[in-house]
């Protein structure tokens, strides 16, 4: 981390640093960098925003200010989480076109696919129901349509990957028909995904949860806060925590999560089940195309390697969703009203 930037942040937050060096922290799947600093007897986390973000754009800064402020609201309502610390009522600090946010340090860790237990998953189902039940009103966050893509756009991205001759081009070409078929289905049902929308974290996957112990999660990375259909979010969250992104997907755990959600005050709408399952595909497609473009356009070898792994994993997830879709719909409708 830039030492001048670190010293400025320390002055801004009145932190007496033990050293003017920050330790890098293994981050998640985004382009942000995380740093750990120590001062005044405690640790802090610093998020250095993805350099592709234009922090000179007031809309970008406003989005982070708003989502971090809303995160604090959820935390005040006893949702376990971490929000950025404000200085002079601002949470984002910009220097030399780089944005930073400062957080209290949480001594926890993200779970890998093989670390998720039934207990972890059920805690997340119960927490999702609690978030939905709060019905926090926030006029600055509008209900937005899910991002949909034209057939031509997807074909253009695939053609770009073929031209760049990236490592996953054969896998991408092999799955082209499936991607276009599911995309057509997703476009047709996308309007349903805005029904019964509630304000929520918006991305409750494993990368966005730190666990202090087996029973204590902290939600992080609130930048995806949105008004999202409650059925869509619990289906998506249950798929994620029951392993849809790996070969160890457990339909049994998926069912237990839906049951816990209902028993914790949540509600599943039968007419939204199919849309929610296709919505999970829509999320995967967004992540797939993002990483295809990232791999094709980046000159950084580490970035290209990370994006390649994400593409291969996401293609497997999409194939698994397609294979399980009928069974998932039948199972989910059994818990819906």
pLDDT digits (tens, 9 = 90+) for 224-268: 999 999 999 999 999 999 999 988 999 999 999 999 999 999 999
Residue-wise pLDDT for 78-119, tens only, equals 999 999 999 999 999 999 999 999 999 999 999 987 899 999
Mean pLDDT of the chain: 93
Q: What's the confidence (pLDDT) of residue 231?
A: 95
The yes-or-no verdict on residue 43 having pLDDT over 90 is: yes
Work out the number of other CB atoms within 10 angstroms of the CB of residue 31. 18
- What percentage of the chain has pLDDT greater than the value 90? 84
The answer to whether the CB of 1 falls within 8 A of the CB of 10 is: no
pLDDT over 60 (residue 28):
no
Three-class HEC string of 202-244: CCCCHHHEEEEECCEEEECCHHHCEEEEHHHHHHHHHHHHCCC
The two three-digit tokens of residue 87, written as one number: 């200085």
- Provide the pLDDT for residue 302: 85
Of 255, 258, 277, nearest to 266 by C-alpha is 258
Q: What is the mean pLDDT of residues 278-297?
A: 94
CB atoms within 10 A of CB 301: 8
Residue 140: predicted pLDDT: 87
**What letter would DSSP give residue 112?**
P
pTM attached to this predicted model: 0.91
Whether the predicted pLDDT of 123 surpasses 70: yes
How far is 38 from 59, CA to CA, in rounded Å? Answer: 31
pLDDT at 153 over 90: yes
Residue 29 has pLDDT above 70, yes or no: no
- CATH code for 113-333? 3.90.1200.10
* Percent with pLDDT over 70 in the chain: 99
**The pLDDT value given to residue 329:** 94
Q: Are 44 and 180 a contacting pair, CB within 8 Å? A: no
Domain boundaries, the chain: 3-104, 113-333
The region of weakest confidence among 135-144, 153-162, 176-185 is 135-144
Instruction: Return the CATH fold of 3-104.
Output: Phosphorylase Kinase; domain 1 (3.30.200)
């Amino acid at each position: 981390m830039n030492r001048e930037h670190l010293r400025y942040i320390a002055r801004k937050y009145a932190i007496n640093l033990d050293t003017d060096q920050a330790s890098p922290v293994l981050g998640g799947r985004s382009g942000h960098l995380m740093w750990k600093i120590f001062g005044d007897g405690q640790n802090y986390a610093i998020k250095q925003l993805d350099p592709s973000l234009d922090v000179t754009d007031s809309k970008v800064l406003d989005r982070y200010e708003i989502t971090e402020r809303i995160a604090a609201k959820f935390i005040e309502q006893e949702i376990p989480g971490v929000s950025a610390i404000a200085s002079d009522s601002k949470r984002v600090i910009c220097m030399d076109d780089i944005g930073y946010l400062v957080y209290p340090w949480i001594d926890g860790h993200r779970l890998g696919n093989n670390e998720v237990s039934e207990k972890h998953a059920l805690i997340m189902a119960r927490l999702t129901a609690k978030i939905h039940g709060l019905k926090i009103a926030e006029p600055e966050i509008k209900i937005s349509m899910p991002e949909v893509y034209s057939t031509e756009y997807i074909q253009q991205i695939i053609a770009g990957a073929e031209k760049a001759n990236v490592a996953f081009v054969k896998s991408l070409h092999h799955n082209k028909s499936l991607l276009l078929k599911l995309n057509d289905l997703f476009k047709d049902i996308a309007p349903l995904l805005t029904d019964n929308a509630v304000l929520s974290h918006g991305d409750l996957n494993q990368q966005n949860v730190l666990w202090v112990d087996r029973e204590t999660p902290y939600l992080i990375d609130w930048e995806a806060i949105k008004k999202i259909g409650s059925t869509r979010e619990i289906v998506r969250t249950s798929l994620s925590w029951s392993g849809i992104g790996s070969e160890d997907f457990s339909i049994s755990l998926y069912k237990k999560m839906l049951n816990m959600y209902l028993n914790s005050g949540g509600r599943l709408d039968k007419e939204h089940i199919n849309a929610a399952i296709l919505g999970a595909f829509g999320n995967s497609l967004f992540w797939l195309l993002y990483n295809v473009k990232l791999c094709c356009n980046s000159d950084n070898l580490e970035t290209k390697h990370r994006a390649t792994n994400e593409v291969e994993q996401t293609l497997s997830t999409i194939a698994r969703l397609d294979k399980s879709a009928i069974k998932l719909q039948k199972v989910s409708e059994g818990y819906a009203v």
